[in-house]
Amino acid sequence: RFGSLTYEIKDIVGASGFGIGSAGLSAYNILVEGNTQALENDVILSMKQGNVAAASRVVDDPRIREYFQHHGHRTAVSRRALQANSDPWLGHTRIDGVGYVVQELSPYEADLDWSGLTEPEDMLSVLDDLGRATAKVHCVSDTDSDHTLVGFQVEDAIDAVIGPDESAFVEAMVAFGTEYAEIVREDHTYFVDAFRNHEIPGL
């Protein structure tokens, strides 16, 4: 996708045991040459070992399973389909039979500052805007995706199921969110109890 110069590897740092879905899996940060040999345009790539998809533990479809070369390939294809403007470095590779997903590790990424959002009425308007933005991005993403595994537009199928009356869908989402919040609070209580009673090995 790029000129051959930028595939020159200048340094590699290995790591493991971070994140939630990637805990304990191998990962590497790779410094590669930029599109010129100027120091300020080098690129840092993240190469993480692909993990088993959670859905595959309950959905055993041979057609889906055989479509992907490995978990890194599945992750790269899925991200490209879910993102309207995916990272041009997004790809996959294999080391000793183990699949990895590769993407650029941007030094300019920054999260939103949520400290000013403390009141529910302020949160609602932000959630509404974020929800619409997220839906729009996902809506336009898979139109030009480069795979044939899903032969239809997901948002069209969802819209057809929901129909003109969104009230039942909204009620279902609210119920799901409320129940999930209760589970999170219970899990946090269990974690705090286990931590304080020294029941977590290694801590």
Q: What is the DSSP string of 97-139?
A: TEEEEEEE--TT------TT--SHHHHHHHHHHHHHHHHHHHH
The backbone torsions φ and ψ at residue 117, rounded to the nearest 5 degrees and listed phi first, read -95, 100
63 confidence band (pLDDT: 50, 70, 90): confident
Average pLDDT over residues 99-127: 84
Cα first-last separation, the chain:
46
Least confident window among 31-40, 65-74, 194-203? 31-40
Q: Are residues 136 and 174 in the same domain?
A: yes
The total number of structural domains that make up the chain: 2
Residue 13 has pLDDT above 90, yes or no: yes
Domain extent at residue 186: 120-196
- Considering the chain, what percentage of its residues have pLDDT values greater than 70? 85
Predicted confidence at residue 93, as pLDDT, reads 93
Predicted confidence at residue 190, as pLDDT, reads 96
In a domain, 109, yes or no: no
Average pLDDT, the chain: 84
User: What crossing angle do the helices spanning 120-141 and 71-82 adopt, rounded to 10°?
Assistant: 110
Predicted confidence at residue 167, as pLDDT, reads 94
Predicted confidence at residue 92, as pLDDT, reads 94
Residue 48 has pLDDT above 80, yes or no: yes
Residue type, 92: H
In a domain, 78, yes or no: yes
Predicted confidence at residue 62, as pLDDT, reads 87
Residue 100 has pLDDT above 70, yes or no: yes
Q: Which residue has the higher pLDDT, 109 or 63?
A: 63
Domain termination residue (choose one: 49, 69, 104): 104
Separation CA 165–CA 116 (nearest Å): 35
140 confidence band (pLDDT: 50, 70, 90): low
Predicted confidence at residue 196, as pLDDT, reads 94
Q: Are residues 64 and 155 in the same domain?
A: no
Predicted confidence at residue 143, as pLDDT, reads 59
Predicted confidence at residue 136, as pLDDT, reads 79
Predicted confidence at residue 58, as pLDDT, reads 86
Q: Are residues 94 and 144 in the same domain?
A: no
Predicted confidence at residue 180, as pLDDT, reads 96
Residue 144 has pLDDT above 60, yes or no: no
Q: Are residues 98 and 185 in the same domain?
A: no
Separation CA 92–CA 200 (nearest Å): 35
Q: Are residues 21 and 87 in the same domain?
A: yes
Residue 12 has pLDDT above 60, yes or no: yes
Separation CA 189–CA 182 (nearest Å): 11
